[in-house]
Structure 1
Amino acid sequence: MSIPALLKHHGVHVPRFVTVAGRVVFDEVESTPSGPVHHEYGPVTAVAPHRFHGGEEEPEDELAEQRSDWWDEPTALARHVDAMRRSFPGFLYLPAEEGLPPSWGGIINTGRGQFDVLIMTRRDQGLPRVHVTKPRLGASAGRRWQKPPHLYSSGSLCVADSGDWDPCRDTAATVTAWAAHWLAAYSEWRITRQWPVEGVDSVVA
């Protein structure tokens, strides 16, 4: 059992943070005027409350024909771009093209492995999709390949419930932090075959 899970078992809720490289940390973080800072890793991003699950990925809402998309509004797009630049500067911004919404690609390093990750926003502003392009997710189980828990049938990561996501409050950086938390749990699952945590309850002030 991980230390955060052990503390939660005893009623102590532990806030989690993600470094710019993608490592989850939960102690030695200090609040500063510019945001939370870890004594060793520097600026970190708080992991917002969320719940892992799986099953079928929520389809996009049918949108009426519209003259412009949400990312055509500079302020709306800047929220995501600025948040990603601040929290995960190593991720590459992929502008919208041919009707596909803006995306980000980069590497999340959990400290136990590196993962190439794609964060894809949605036209309906729903919970962005998260896909690991490499390595293949899962583990050998005898002669078969065992997929990890909390994975959509499409292969995308189920980093949160759709109700955890608020497009007016959250950004692509929120989802990237959730992805880092998912991958940290996955890295532990690969060793123990037990998913160590179901999400995050703590709200960081």
Structure 2
Amino acid sequence: MSVFPSIDRQHAAIRAVWPTFHLVAHTDRTATWSGTLKPFMLAYKVRISHRIPLAIERIDPLRQQPEVRVVSPPLKRRPGDAEGSLPHVYVDRVGDPVLCLFDYETDEWTPFRMLAETTIPWALDWLGCYEGWRATGEWSGGGRHVGPAVAEAIR
């Protein structure tokens, strides 16, 4: 038995608070949900992948955080922008952006937390900040940009 919330418990919490999200794949320790979030102007289809760590694994939020990706519409870059061409994302090995939703050094998220209370609301907030950034060039969400070494460490 895991000390972390089970996939079933995570799924029940997501279903209760975010009814547009559906479980699309799962095992005992992994799950992927798909759903729609609409911060202001656009509705975004997002995919959230989560893996429950083994109790004996070193808990490293940078490596064990849920991965949130925008499926559609595609995120647009702004080359040469002061905030970066697409701020507050990690880029996976394929080149797809994974949303950076929290500061990994502040313990905002751990595998003990519920995705319905953290990851999904943070993704909605990120998308609102993204829409503002696209309109104004200013990132209103705060946070700090991670350097290339940290961004690479997550993958």
Q: Shared fold (TM-score greater than 0.5)?
A: yes
Aligned counterpart in structure 1 of residue 43 of structure 2, from 114, 121, 127: 114
Distance 1:182 1:140 in 2: 16
Say which SS state the counterpart of residue 80 (structure 1) adopts: helix
Task: State the identity as a percent.
Answer: 29
Q: Which residue of 1 aligns with 2:115?
A: 172
Instruction: Report which of the two has the higher share of helix.
Output: 2
The residue number in structure 2 matching 1:148 is 86
Q: AA paired with 1:107? A: T
Match of 2:127 among 179, 183, 191: 183
| Number of residue pairs aligned between Structure 1 and Structure 2 | 123
CA distance in 2, matches of 1:79, 1:115: 25
| Runs of 5+ unmatched residues, structure 1 | 1-67, 200-205
What SS does structure 2 have at the residue aligned with 1:106?
A: strand
In the superposition, the TM-score normalised over structure 2's length comes to 0.68
Secondary structure of the 1:78 match is: helix
Corresponding residue of 1:129: 67
SS at match of 1:86: helix
Assess if the C-alpha contact under 8 Å between 1:159 and 1:179 holds in 2: yes
- Which residue number in structure 2 is paired with residue 88 of structure 1? 18
Superposed CA deviations along residues 66-116 of structure 1, whole A, max 9, x for unmatched, are xx9x5xx9x62232112101110111112315x981111011111211111
Once residues 114 and 132 of structure 1 are traced to their aligned partners in structure 2, the CA distance between those partners, rounded to angstroms, is 10
Q: How does 1:60-71 map to 2 (within 5 A)?
A: none
* Unmatched segments (≥5 aa) in structure 2: 55-63, 144-155
Match for residue 23 of structure 1? none
Give the distance between the partners of 1:165 and 1:189, measured in 2 at CA. Answer: 24
2:101 matched to which residue of 1? Answer: 159
Q: TM-score, normalised by structure 1?
A: 0.53
List structure 1 runs of 4+ shifted beyond 6 angstroms. none
| Residue in structure 1 matched with residue 31 of structure 2 by the alignment | 102
Greater length-normalized contact order (CA 8 Å, ≥ 6 residues apart): 1
In the other structure, the counterpart of 2:61 is none
8 Å CA contact 1:91, 1:105 repeated in 2: yes
> 3-state SS of the aligned residue for 1:159?
coil
2:142 maps to a residue whose letter is E
